[in-house]
């Protein structure tokens, strides 16, 4: 699911992504962008605070957004990336293509070092 809003007097198109950023979201994201085509935005902010998954289709959508923003003299800003999303961006080297606005460092550390409930077997 994608919720669309604006920041900075309309200069920033904000896409709040909920759930999986994958092929299933492609049409909805494309439709949202087409509806905003006439708006004066230059920057696209993709808020991934509620994103649970990112695959190659999602990466392709981010590249599509990057191209649109670049044509308007702007860029794509990824905001509040989860540890899993950040890991995918690092593995694919996509973190160099986008400006990333992080969550507070303590929130990322809490996610990385969150205790997991597992049973250990010795012997």
Give the CATH number, domain containing residue 32: 3.30.750.24
Residues in the chain: 123
**In this structure, how many other beta carbons lie within 10 angstroms of the beta carbon of residue 36?**
17
The model's pTM: 0.78
Domain coverage including residue 32: 2-105
Ranges of H-type helices in the chain: 23-35, 56-71, 83-91, 105-112
The verdict on residue 114 lying in a domain is no
The verdict on residue 53 lying in a domain is yes
The verdict on residue 70 lying in a domain is yes
The verdict on residue 23 lying in a domain is yes
The verdict on residue 113 lying in a domain is no
pLDDT single digits (tens) 18-75: 999 998 888 888 888 888 888 888 999 999 999 988 999 999 999 999 998 999 999 9
pLDDT value of position 48 = 92
The verdict on residue 120 lying in a domain is no
The verdict on residue 119 lying in a domain is no
Dmax over CA atoms of the chain, in Å, equals 65
The verdict on residue 122 lying in a domain is no
Count of domains in the chain?
1
Nearest CA to 100 out of 50, 52, 45 is that of: 45
* pLDDT tier at 103, thresholds 50, 70, 90: low
């Amino acid at each position: 699911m994608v919720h669309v809003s604006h920041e900075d007097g309309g200069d920033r198109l904000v896409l709040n992504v909920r759930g999986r950023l994958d092929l299933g979201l492609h049409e909805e994201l494309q439709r949202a962008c087409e509806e905003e085509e006439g708006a004066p935005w230059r920057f696209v902010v993709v808020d991934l605070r509620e994103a649970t998954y990112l695959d190659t289709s999602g990466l392709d959508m981010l590249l599509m957004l990057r191209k649109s923003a670049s044509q308007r003299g702007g860029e794509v800003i990824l905001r509040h990336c989860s540890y899993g999303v950040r890991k995918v961006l690092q593995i694919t080297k996509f973190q160099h293509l986008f400006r990333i606005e992080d969550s507070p460092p303590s929130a990322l550390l809490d996610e990385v070092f969150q205790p997991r409930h597992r049973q250990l077997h010795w012997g």
